[in-house]
A and B are shown apart, each in its own frame.
Chain A
Amino acid sequence: MAEAGHLARTDRLRAAGLLAPAYLWLTVAVFLPLSAMAFFSIITDVPFGDTEWRVTAENYAAFLESPTYARLLWKSVLLGVKVTALCVLIGFPCAWVLAKMIRGRSREALFLLVILPFWSNSLVRIFSWAIVLRGNGVLDKAVNAVWPWNVEVNLLFSEWAIVIGLVHSYLPYVILTAYLALQAIDDSLIEAARSLGAKWWTILWRVVLPLSSSGLIAGAVLVFVPVVGSFMEPRILGGRMGTYYGTVIEDQFVAVFNWPLGAALSFILLAVVLAILAVSAPVLRKART
């Protein structure tokens, strides 16, 4: 008995020792910054130097007082839905081709092409899109070079530009997660379905999608969450149309120095995103079974 207790204790100690780095990392990298922001969100002024401050709820109240914030948040959520949907629609077939239709070296080459955008700085990617999409830009010139009639292609400073830039930035997440899920599907399952007379859409709907949904959902969440809070892409590609919830938060931190309001808006965003994920969890879980 004493022996067993001793063993359990050393096991527990060993486990604690092994887990310690992970918890330390979580504390330093996640918990501390979040707590600092949580603290900022409930005070009146940032306590640097001699500024006076007190605890308040008015930063959160500000969200409710003005319809502007809620409207922008809704706009950002819609942007997240659109970008996520497009990423899934484009990314899933790409992942299917990669996982099931291509073998050998060409798959490696294609993989490289998928990951390639990650190697460049995101700001550089977004500015490149600005050059491509602007009137008299690369796209405009290319279209006019092949199209017999003169058309003006100027997508810059529109919601389209933002969506294009974001989809390009986040597409690899969906491709990679969906690829992993699709690759794990045994080919013989698909063959069995086919031998039983199932058409391709039935196979897709009844076999492939349910088996790969976990990867697809993981990819969609990876895209949705950062897109709702995105600010750089809307600012650069959106122009006048580029005011979103994320850009308003950014403004609070870098332009008008209202960190408390910026922190409060960030936490509201966090809460809303968590709520959306919580509400959609049962639906998504059902889709998986």
Chain B
Amino acid sequence: MTRLLCTATALALITPALHAAEIRVLNWQGYGTDQDFATEAFEEVTGHTVVHEYFNSEQETLTKLRTNPGAYDVVLINSSFTPQVVDEGLLAPIDTSKLENFADLDPAFVNNDGLNEDGVIYGVPWTWGLTSIAVSNADFDTPPTSLEVLWSPEWEGRVSIRDDAVEAVQIGALATGQSINDVQDLEAVRAKLAALMPSIDTYWGSENDWNQFMASGEFAAATYWSGSASRSMGKGLDITFVVPEEGAIGWLDGLSIPAASEKKDAAYQFIDWMIDPEFYAEWDKDGAPATANIAAASALPDDSFNKAVLGDPAVVAKVQFMQPMSDETRETYLKLWQDLKAAQ
């Protein structure tokens, strides 16, 4: 009897570890982790089920992580935001030995300032891409070469930028020839953006918004993300992604594990699958951002968007990668953007 009880207790203790877990992933909607083929393959191999929850801004991620500890097991965080989340103690350090594909990741991304703190890595570099502009081929016979197209009177009322203070200021910085990570002349940026405002049709918020506005002919030229552009083109939207001579904003997204997650092993398995070249090859067919995995990138067909556009050294040379930003700077930008919006 005692032995039976012991065995039962032991079983009860072990089972949760062996038992298939339900992991909760927090990400943008339609951003890789929730691809049907990906979750199905993962669920088949590991037995874990994947449940998604979505956010619409980086700040919302932070809100969700703060207010629902333990609710998420894998979360996508932009590397310029990771330090803030780490400082609040919301993320667990990554044990890279648990990731079989980690060795294939680009060392430049692995050593990214945003993902590392005090020599400990908190985010697994997953995807990267550019924030630049995309134009509708119906309106442009030849794609523009300069960011100035947004300010061109010809397209007044048919341009858009995202409703995001940091992105707006950085676009302004590019247009005024400044470094996006060290804006010296903020007044020039303000004046430049103020001149842009009357031309803006509406701000866009999400990829879905953008696609709808572009498809209905509302937009002729608008800021856009490279990964989204490749996805939109994959869906048949007739647009061209342009990296103008002024340059583009580079960003890096990492996958992290919240400190409060109770299913960390399953989370590691999921992240390992997400950085697997096999997963990326499949995702790229639907339109994916560029991968941080060197093996996956070199395996792409030559005509793929990510190899043709983002693999071009001339393009990469123009990119300014976003670096972590202090709260004060963020607030200054937010204030500037709010004032500009309110003045309309």
Residues of A near any B CB (own CB < 8 A): 46, 48-51, 66, 68, 71-72, 134-136, 157, 239-243, 248, 251, 254-257
Contacts and interface: CB of A to CB of B under 8 A. Distances in A.
Contact of A240 (B59, B202, B217, B334): B202
Interface string B58-78: 011011001101000000000
Q: What does DSSP make chain A's interface, helix, strand, loop or mixed?
A: loop
Nearest to A137: B216
B139 to A, nearest CB: 14
Contact of A255 (B59, B201, B202): B59
Nearest to A131: B216
A134 B218 contact: yes
B342 A72 contact: yes
A112 B334 CA distance: 46
Nearest to B68: A48
Contacts of B90: 49
Contacts of A255: 57, 59-60
B89 A49 contact: yes
Contact of A68 (B56, B57, B60, B339): B339
Interface of B: 56-57, 59-60, 62-63, 66-67, 69, 88-90, 165, 197, 200-203, 216-218, 334-335, 338-339, 341-342, 344
A68 B335 CA distance: 10
A239 B217 CA distance: 15
Nearest to A259: B63
A240 B197 contact: yes
A202 B344 CA distance: 44
Nearest to B205: A235
7 contacts: A49-B66, A49-B88, A68-B339, A136-B217, A240-B201, A243-B344, A255-B60
A68 B62 CA distance: 26
Contacts of A71: 342
Given A135-B217, A254-B59, 18 more contacts: A46-B66, A48-B67, A49-B66, A49-B89, A50-B88, A68-B338, A68-B339, A157-B201, A240-B202, A240-B203, A242-B202, A243-B342, A248-B338, A251-B338, A254-B56, A254-B60, A255-B59, A257-B62
Nearest to B204: A239
Contacts of B89: 49-50
Nearest to A46: B66
Contact of B202 (A49, A51, A157, A254): A157
B341 to A, nearest CB: 4
Contacts of B216: 134, 136
A241 B89 CA distance: 39
Nearest to B69: A49
Shortest 4 CB-CB contacts between residues of A and residues of B: A239-B202, A243-B341, A48-B66, A68-B342
Contacts of A68: 338-339, 342
B344 A240 contact: yes
Nearest to B63: A257
B342 A248 contact: yes
A257 B59 CA distance: 6
A254 B62 CA distance: 10
B198 to A, nearest CB: 8
Contacts of A254: 56-57, 59-60, 63
B16 to A, nearest CB: 26
Nearest to B60: A254
A137 B118 CA distance: 55
Nearest to B341: A243
A135 B158 CA distance: 11
Contacts of B341: 240, 243
A240 B59 CA distance: 22
A135 B197 CA distance: 20
A257 B331 CA distance: 11
A132 B219 CA distance: 18
Contacts of A46: 66
A51 B88 contact: yes
A240 B204 CA distance: 10
Contacts of B197: 240
Contacts of B203: 239-240
Contacts of B217: 135-136
Nearest to B65: A49
Contacts of B57: 254-255
A157 B63 CA distance: 30
B164 to A, nearest CB: 8
Contacts of A157: 201-202
A243 B338 CA distance: 9
Contacts of A242: 202
Contacts of A241: 344
Contacts of B66: 46, 48-49, 51
A172 B281 CA distance: 55
Given A49-B69, A71-B342, A256 B59 contact: yes
